[in-house]
């Protein structure tokens, strides 16, 4: 399935049906009263967060979505039927923005969450509504109200706890396949990953977190080099970034420090808040470095890169060091989740009262 993380759609709720002007016609009743019913409500348009979807490709080719109009009122006190609502299923993490003003209208962050994005118009009143003691034969009615029309921009930002960052062929796909249930495409050429991949990492019973693997970045991505840096939007909701570095490049002329600095520079150009997220350094492919040279190479890299945060030495291929890294990540994610939870409000009736001062004796 093609991965699409941006789409534009036009939605229209249904118009309300018009009211009816009608009078009762029965045998032997010369002056029957009014019996014109109201029009029906127009259909609403809802957006539903569906966990089974991970792309907006359906909305790339189907841009117009219109709910049914309400039916008109009829005689014999019959009200018009309401128009059928429509529900647009979208991936969890979709942001709905007004395409004209750029205002963020809704964010679908909870699986199964349903929001009303366009309200159907109310039905008009029939002449039954206007009868009174002084107006026994009203000939008034009102038209139905129009439904809401909107042009929306849909933007998908995947929901993940941890995001992988690095150059093409740094071993990100191998790493996510080693620690999670994800099975991304792996090959020995650059830009194997063309769209984000999500993997659930099981640490223990009821202990897990979600990892997002993104296409590789290269220097100049902000100017459109490689696949650009638009996929970085999918890291904005993560709690931790893992900067994966290839410590054994095929080309001896390639400097891993220069590549790592280029990645950090592109990150800062894209979003200052993303640049300031917690970021750990993961030195990969150390199984391809001689054991007696490994410590010196790692020490030289950290020194020249001037990195002050946590550093992990792994081999995604042999899974060396991955288990300890996964446990450390889980502890970090768990602590961040706990700090993000709002404290429970205490009923003032059960709050602890201040201790009374001891009686003077």
pLDDT value of position 212:
79
Quote the pTM value: 0.67
Alpha carbon distance 199, 228 (integer Å): 23
Q: Which residue has the tokens 């020490």?
A: 299
Q: What is the structure's pLDDT at 135?
A: 87
- pLDDT the model gives residue 189: 40
Residue 13 pLDDT: 95
d(CA 285, CA 59) in angstroms, rounded, equals 40
User: What is the model's pLDDT at position 156?
Assistant: 82
What pLDDT shows up at residue 231?
65
Helix (H, G, I), strand (E, B) or coil at 333: helix
- Positions in the chain short of pLDDT 70: 1-4, 181-196, 215-232, 340-361
Distance (Å) of CA 109 to CA 96, 112, 114, 123, 159 = 11, 9, 10, 33, 8
């Amino acid at each position: 399935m093609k991965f699409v993380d941006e789409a534009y759609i036009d939605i229209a709720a249904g118009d309300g049906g018009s009211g009816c002007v009608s009078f009762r016609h029965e045998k032997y009743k010369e002056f029957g009263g009014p019996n014109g019913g109201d029009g029906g409500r127009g259909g609403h348009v809802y957006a539903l967060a569906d966990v089974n979807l991970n792309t907006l490709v359906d909305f790339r080719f189907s841009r117009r979505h219109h709910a049914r109009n309400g039916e008109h009122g009829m005689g014999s006190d019959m009200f018009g039927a309401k128009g059928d609502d429509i529900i647009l299923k979208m991936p969890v993490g979709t942001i709905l923005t007004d395409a004209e003003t750029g205002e963020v209208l809704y964010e679908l962050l909870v699986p199964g969450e349903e929001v009303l994005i366009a309200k159907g118009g109310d039905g008009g009143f029939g002449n039954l509504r206007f009868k009174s003691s002084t107006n026994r034969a009203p000939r008034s009615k009102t038209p139905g109200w129009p439904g809401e029309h909107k042009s929306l921009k849909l933007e998908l930002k995947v929901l993940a706890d941890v995001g992988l960052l690095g150059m093409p062929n740094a071993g990100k796909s191998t790493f996510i396949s080693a620690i999670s249930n994800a099975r991304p495409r792996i090959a020995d050429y650059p830009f194997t990953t063309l769209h984000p991949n999500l993997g659930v990492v099981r640490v223990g019973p009821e202990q897990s977190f979600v990892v997002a693997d993104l296409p590789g970045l290269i220097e100049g991505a902000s100017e459109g080099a490689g696949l650009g840096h638009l996929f970085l939007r999918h890291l904005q909701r993560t709690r931790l970034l893992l900067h994966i570095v290839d410590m054994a490049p095929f080309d001896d002329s390639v400097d891993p420090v220069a590549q790592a600095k280029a990645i950090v520079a592109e990150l800062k150009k894209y979003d200052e808040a993303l640049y300031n997220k917690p970021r750990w350094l993961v030195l990969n492919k150390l199984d391809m470095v001689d054991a007696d040279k490994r410590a010196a190479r790692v020490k030289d890299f950290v020194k020249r890169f001037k990195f002050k945060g946590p550093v992990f030495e792994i081999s995604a291929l042999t899974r060396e060091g991955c288990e300890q890294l996964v446990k450390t990540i889980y502890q970090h994610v768990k602590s961040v989740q706990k700090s993000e939870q709002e404290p429970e409000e205490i009923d003032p009736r059960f709050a602890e009262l201040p201790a009374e001062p001891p009686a003077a004796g």
